[in-house]
Structures are given as C-alpha cells and as structure tokens.
Structure 1
Amino acid sequence: MSKVVKIDKIVYGGYGLAKDDKVYFVPYTLEGEEVEIEVVQEKKDYSLSNPINIIKPSPERVEPVCKYFTLCGGCDFQHIPYEKQIEIKKEILKDQLLRIGKVDLPIEKVYPSQPFNYRIKVQFKFDGKNFGFYRQNSNQVIDIDYCYLLKEDFNQIIHPLKKFLFKYALSPSQVIVFSNSKNQKLIKFVFPDNSQIANIIPKIEIYKDEIDENIKGIGFYDKKKRQLLLGEYVIFETVDNYKYRVSMDSFFQVNIYQIKNLIDLVVQEVKDKGYKRAVDFYCGVGTFSVPLANYVREVLGIESNEEAVKDAKTNVRHNNLKNLKFLKAKTEKGLKYAKDFKPEVVVFDPPRSGLNKTIIREISKIESIQKIIYISCNPSTLARDLKDFKEYGFNPLKVSMVDMFPQTHHIESVVVLEKF
C-alpha cells in the first residue's frame, strides 16, 4: 500500500527524511518534495521506503545523466545539482558532529571535486551473465556499459572485459581495476574458488591485445589469496612532487582530483610549526607520511597491510627520504611504538568503522602529543570518536570537508584536534 509524504530534509545515508505517523527514509528525493512512497522494510522506529512518484518535485531537481541511476546502487545524488550536493553534505556533517559528538564547529574549508569521471579504482561484479555493479541493498548485478564516476579509460574497457570473460568462459565474482594518471592498469580477477585458475591463459600479451594495451599486471585470486601473477605487481602515481608506488593489494585514495587537497590539509598543520616527530596510523603506501617527512624531523608510519607496507618502504627511496620509517602492525600494537617515538603530531586515517575507545585512551596518554589530525570517511563514527577525544583532553578546533565521492552520500572530512 502506498502513501504520500513530504520530505523534511536529507540525512546521512542519502535518504530523504519524512515524518508522518512514523519516520520514513526515502532515497532519491529532495527537501520539500511531496512523494508517493511504498514501504519496503518496517523497523521498530522507522520505515525504509521507495519513491513511486514525485508528486511535487523540488525546483532544484535535475535529470540524472546516467540511465542506471536508482537501478545501480553506486550513486545517491545524481538528481541533485552538484553545488547543492555540497551544501547537503556540509549540513549533514555539521549535524552529525553536533548531535553525536557534541562538537559545534563551522566547516572551515570545503573542497569540491570534479563531479564525474574521478574514480581511479573500480570493483566490477560478475554473475556469469551480467557485468557491472550491485543493485541498491542487493546482490543482484546490474549489467552496465558506462559509469559516470569512473575515469574515462575504465569505460573504454568495460565492453572488452565482458567480451573476454565470455570468450574464455571465465566467471570471476569480481574484477578490480586500478588505473593511474597515465592510464596504466593493474587488474585483479577474483574467483569464488580455485577451480578456474588452471584454465587461465598465462600470456599477458593476450589480455593487452583483447582488453587494454595499458595493462601492466594481472593477478588471479582465489577469494583474497593470489594464485597467479602476470606482468608487474605495481604501478606508480605522482601527486604534486610526491611519487607513490601502489601495488595490486594496497589502498590508495580513489579520487584523483582530491588527493592533493587531502595532503595539503595535513601538511598545513605541520609546516613551519617546528614539530620534530609525527606518527601516521593507517598510513597505507605513505600517502601522508611521505609529505610529512618533508616538514618534520622524523616520521613513523604504522600499517597492518603487508603489501602496503612494502610499497611504503619503497616510497621512502623513491622520494629520497632519510627520516621516514614504516612498521607493519595493527593500530593497537602500534600504540606501544608510538609511545616510545614521542610524537608531537599524530595522523589517523582509519576505515569507516573509525577508532575505538582503547586506541583513543592510549593515544591520549602520550604526553608529547600536541596535535591530532583525523581524516574520516564516516561522519557518525568520527563524531563518536571526537566525543571520546574530548573526554581524554583533546579539543576539536577545525573541520574541513573534501568531497571525495561526488554523486554519492559519502562524506570525507579532516578534523584538527589540540590538547587543552
């Protein structure tokens, strides 16, 4: 049974929030719209709903550029002009920080992105017939031939990739592609088991001829473990004056237009401040550690991903640095090394789950720390953690927003905290 509701505002997750007899979360809507909805999932305190008909559309609503919008689960905001997307994200970030973290700060700086064709990494899904992305909240694969979020060279290989899989009767569950600014590519074929590995054609030239001549390396995986490698395992990316080696199993920021802005936000907090030592947790391949080493006497990077640590250690050499070291350790174990290192500055760039109270408590015990720079991709866990940091003596002073994921509800932010 359908009903008509009015959207009060857009909330975290990309949903329009409506209040009637109860709270309704409705995707693909805008504030002020009257929408006919159908409830798809009842919860105790709210209902998840789908819009059936936009009865009274917002004057700001625009026609989505992508024919798969609302089918594919990748985008939330293509019906919203990009400038308005930024406004909405700013308000959501402020609301989450205030409501969850009791942090009342203006968003000091906002860095918009190029709205489309920004992603340098993609994870295609394949079900034996359809090649593309999952439907929203589903494991059903939507077959696509173009994605507006991807760098243009990705879109040029979608058809050749599909054709290749059918031609050689391969059924990977995922095909993960990373492309640098020179369009050089690493490709991972991830199979649900190892039964197809023996059928792989072991000549990279065939993949280059039939998929893309810019392929540098291909890995074949049984779930997460690599079984076979063709060509090279790494490619390089240059951001500003910094050179990064990135391997097939490492993490690198996915928006090619925003990596420099993130680095600049971190660097400006240490440049000309006289800090001697910095620790970079969840450091990956050294995205922030490498620039930091140009502005402080010593830097220690801590990362649990073994391949990322290998990349990071080579990036010390590629950037001619003598004052940067990397340690393979989970954050909880790395705290001991951080304590012995006596840093004045600590950088965190954790996964969406954020930190935990133990990490926050132990970091806060290190007397030498004067400043914490927290890079977050989840405002709700960020707000939770900031509340804990305040409890242990660190006050949030600045909040900046870097739009890493245009057309989606995801929000990247950088918060600077100082001891009070």
Structure 2
Amino acid sequence: MKLRIDKAIYGGNGLARMTEGEQAGKAVFVPFVLPGEVVEAHVRASKKGFAEAALLSVPEPSQDRIEARCKHFTFCGGCQYQHATYDAQLAMKRGILEETMQRAGVRDLPTIQVHAAEPWGYRNRIRLRVEANRIGYNRRASHAFLPVEECPIAAPLLWQAVQALTELPLEGVAEVEFFTDAHESKLQLTVLAEKHLSQKRLTRLCEMLQQRIPQLAGASVVQADPRQRGHRGQPDESVEGHVAAHWGEASLPYLASGQTYRVQAGGFFQVNRFLIDTMVRIVTANHSGERAWDLYAGAGLFTAALMKNFAQVTAVEIGEASFRELAALTTPPHRAMRATTAEFLKRGKLEAPDLIVVDPPRAGLGTEVVERLIAISVPRIVSVSCDPATFSRDAAGLLQSGYTLAELHLVDMFPQTFHLETVAVFTR
C-alpha cells in the first residue's frame, strides 16, 4: 500500500494511517521513514489497534533523507536513524519528547534546550557477540546473530580492537566488551565466557591483542549466564557479573569534567565521549548547598561535581562494580551507600537535602520512589532519564504534587538511534 508518514514515534518507526478499505484510519508503523514522505510498504503484521509494515520504496522522499553511512544499516538492530540528516534526527527526537510529555498530561513545557555534538564515532563502549570466531551484533528485531564489518558510531579505537580480536583464537568466548577513555589513549576489555577461561588463556589472549593494539591496558573475564546470551548484542551498556580473572590494570582511568574516574569491568559509565562534560554541567551547574543526594549514582559521575558545591553528598548505588568505584571516590564528610534507591528512601528520619539527583535505569523511578521523593519535599530535583515514556510518567507524578518543571534539556547521547536522554529540573 502507499502511505504518507505523519510523524516519527519513539522506537524508530514512522506513523502513517491506512486510507482505503475497512481498516481506513488504522495506524501503521513503518521503519526507516521520515515525516512527510510518501512510501510504499507491505503490511507484515496486523493487530487490533495497529499494523506493522515493511518499507518497500520511497517514491516521494523527504529532503532530509540521506544515504546511510554503515553497510549494516536496516539489518543491524543498533541504529534506526542513519537515513536522516542529523538536524532531522534532533527535530524528530524533540517532537517525540514533546508529544510524550503531553500525552502523560504534562502541559506548559519550558523551552526544550537541545544539546548535541559529533554524531559519529561517539561511543566509548561497545559490546558484541562472538560466534565461530566472528564478531557481530543482533539482527534487527531478533536475537539472531549478525556478523558485522564496521560500526561507525563506535570510537575508532574500539573498532580497531574488534578487527584485531578476530585474528585471535576465541574458543569459549560468548561476548566481548571494549571500553575506551575519551581520548582513546587506553582500552579495557571484558570477556564474557560461556565456560571457564583460565588466567593463562586470558594472559595469552591479551598479550597477542596488545601487540596489535598497544592501548590495551587491562582485561577481565566475567562468567556469562547462557540464558542472557544475545539478549543485548548491541553496542549497549555494560554488564555486572562475577569477575573470574584479571589481566593488567583492574580499572580504566577516565577523565571527565576535571575529575578522573576509575571505571572497573562491569561498571556503568555514560557512553557518549563527546557529551559527558556537557551532561555533568547541565545536571550539577548552579546547584549548591549543605546536603545533596545522588541516587542511582553509578561510578559517581555527578557525585564528584556535587562534592565541590555541597558540604555533604550521599551517593547511593546497588551495582557491585559501580559501588567500588563510587566508594573510592567519596571521602568524609561525603559518603557512598550500597543500596537500591527504594531501600535508601525507606530508611527512617532522613534529613532532607537541598538537592536530589536521580539517574534511574530505563524503567524509570516508579510509583514508590516518586511518592517517597514527594514526601521528602526537597526543594530541587534533577532527573536524568533515557526513556521519555517512563520519564513523562514520573514527571507527571511530581508535577501533580506541586513541583514545577523549571528546565527541560534533550541531550543527544545516542545519535543515529531513536534513544534520547533528558535532563529535567523540578523545583518547589
């Protein structure tokens, strides 16, 4: 059928409406399209409220349509927007954020401030699957293995390391993760093994890889759960797990916003090497006082900046690897606590801080945490989110309790993909 694309929706698809027959008006989701385009598509799945279609051709393309840079685009599940100019990508994400907020009942939005940087080679971390000494990601919309020959969103050093690794014996390796600092001066390797990978084998593998990639500074083996294999398979966040063997440096030093962080295997750290300093500035600038809480603190990216402007910072993190980094970063009177945010907020008689920073996972804060934040009645909350739907839900709860949305930022941490990061400042 021929369709006109109305708008971009979260998840990477475009939305169109059927125009003929009994299903006229039914929503159709089409991938790899742009608003305003007329396309030919084939419906491959029809459900009660919508249909999913495969793109066949674009007889009337948008002026924002360009050739994708990566040969694996449309086959790989990692990117959704390589067919769009970067300005068009930002416009689509801004529209999606606005509409998602409005659908959650959030009106009178402040001006959305958009922050962007170089849209290629930005990732400081990638994680790939290994099969028969081939390295790849997941195929789009599946867990099937896709061998890949390039990844232009990865920092160049990461892909050089991938190419070098394919020349080495990888028996027993299920997945590999490479992590580099912002300037690509050091490289960290994490190996997820299906079975025991001995210290001797790890040492031999790393020595051979270091001959090809001198920046390799350290490596760790994490025992993989076979049930989890391939459930990521994209250049995604890091993984927690039991470290079975080490080689070289146990952590990678990462300089960001004037602070050196020690990022261990399995520890979380923001992935866009060009926008980390911007993110820290947006979250922490113009905030000061006696006490601050950094919840879902990770390795302490925001904690370090907050410690410069607050007399006491309490940083809360549950992940084992991230907490080790966080504990090393904080010194009295500042403190790190290993707990979930919900567990921390349940503790009785907490003295309310002047500021709370929250950076939850994709699932968002949830009703329980939002209610406890409301009960504390802190004057300022800065929320960092990587999912507009869960962020909008949480924001609606805060606004209904009397908070005001003072600032809203869209930080494009994931160019070429549908993912978008928001930073919001709520005040009472």
Q: One fold, TM greater than 0.5?
A: yes
Q: Is 1:387–2:396 an aligned residue pair?
A: yes
Deviations 1:296-318 (A, max 9, x none): 111100000122111112223xx
Alpha-carbon spacing, 1:130–1:262, altered in 2? closer, same or farther (3 Å): same
Alpha-carbon spacing, 1:190–1:85, altered in 2? closer, same or farther (3 Å): same
Deviations 1:202-243 (A, max 9, x none): 346524445522112211222132222222220111112112
Alpha-carbon spacing, 1:169–1:289, altered in 2? closer, same or farther (3 Å): closer
Quote the Cα distance in structure 1 between the aligned partners of 2:87 and 2:64: 11
Equivalent in the alignment of 1:222: 223
Name the Cα RMSD after superposition: 1.9
Q: How many residues align?
A: 405
Quote the Cα distance in structure 2 between the aligned partners of 1:394 and 1:151: 40
Partners of 1:94 and 1:104 within 8 A in 2: no
Alpha-carbon spacing, 1:174–1:107, altered in 2? closer, same or farther (3 Å): farther
Deviation at 1:338, TM superposition (A): 8.6
Deviation at 1:11, TM superposition (A): 1.0
Partners of 1:346 and 1:372 within 8 A in 2: yes
Alpha-carbon spacing, 1:201–1:351, altered in 2? closer, same or farther (3 Å): closer
Deviation at 1:346, TM superposition (A): 0.5
Quote the Cα distance in structure 2 between the aligned partners of 1:122 and 1:255: 11
What SS does structure 2 have at the residue aligned with 1:59? coil
Q: Is 1:327–2:337 an aligned residue pair?
A: yes
Alpha-carbon spacing, 1:249–1:196, altered in 2? closer, same or farther (3 Å): closer
1:127 corresponds to which letter in structure 2? E
The equivalent position to 1:32 in structure 2, one of 30, 33, 36, is 36
Deviations 1:242-282 (A, max 9, x none): 121111111000001111111111222404xxx21110100
Q: Is 1:410–2:411 an aligned residue pair?
A: no
Equivalent in the alignment of 2:235: none
Partners of 1:300 and 1:325 within 8 A in 2: yes
Equivalent in the alignment of 1:170: 171
Quote the Cα distance in structure 1 between the aligned partners of 2:15 and 2:162: 36
Q: Is 1:252–2:254 an aligned residue pair?
A: no
Kindly report structure 1 stretches of 4+ aligned residues shifted beyond 6 Å. none
Deviation at 1:170, TM superposition (A): 1.4
What SS does structure 1 have at the residue aligned with 2:73? coil
Deviations 1:120-157 (A, max 9, x none): 00011122254121111111222222211011111212
Partners of 1:145 and 1:158 within 8 A in 2: no
Equivalent in the alignment of 1:308: 322
Structure 1 residue runs without a partner (length 5+): none
Deviation at 1:340, TM superposition (A): 1.6
Deviations 1:347-397 (A, max 9, x none): 100001001111111111114x10100001000100001111123332222
The equivalent position to 2:81 in structure 1, one of 67, 71, 77, is 77
Equivalent in the alignment of 2:117: 113
Q: TM-score, normalised by structure 2?
A: 0.90
Structure 2 residue runs without a partner (length 5+): 19-23, 225-240
Equivalent in the alignment of 2:15: 17
The equivalent position to 1:360 in structure 2, one of 343, 350, 370, is 370
Equivalent in the alignment of 1:140: 144
Quote the Cα distance in structure 1 between the aligned partners of 2:96 and 2:108: 13
Q: Is 1:185–2:166 an aligned residue pair?
A: no
Quote the Cα distance in structure 1 between the aligned partners of 2:348 and 2:335: 12
Partners of 1:189 and 1:220 within 8 A in 2: yes
The equivalent position to 2:310 in structure 1, one of 296, 302, 312, is 296
Quote the Cα distance in structure 2 between the aligned partners of 1:338 and 1:194: 44
Q: TM-score, normalised by structure 1?
A: 0.92
Bigger Cα displacement from structure 2, 169-178 vs 251-260: 169-178
Alpha-carbon spacing, 1:250–1:205, altered in 2? closer, same or farther (3 Å): closer
What SS does structure 2 have at the residue aligned with 1:39? strand
Partners of 1:69 and 1:78 within 8 A in 2: yes
Equivalent in the alignment of 2:408: 399
What SS does structure 2 have at the residue aligned with 1:90? helix
2:223 corresponds to which letter in structure 1? D
Percent sequence identity is 28
What SS does structure 1 have at the residue aligned with 2:203? coil
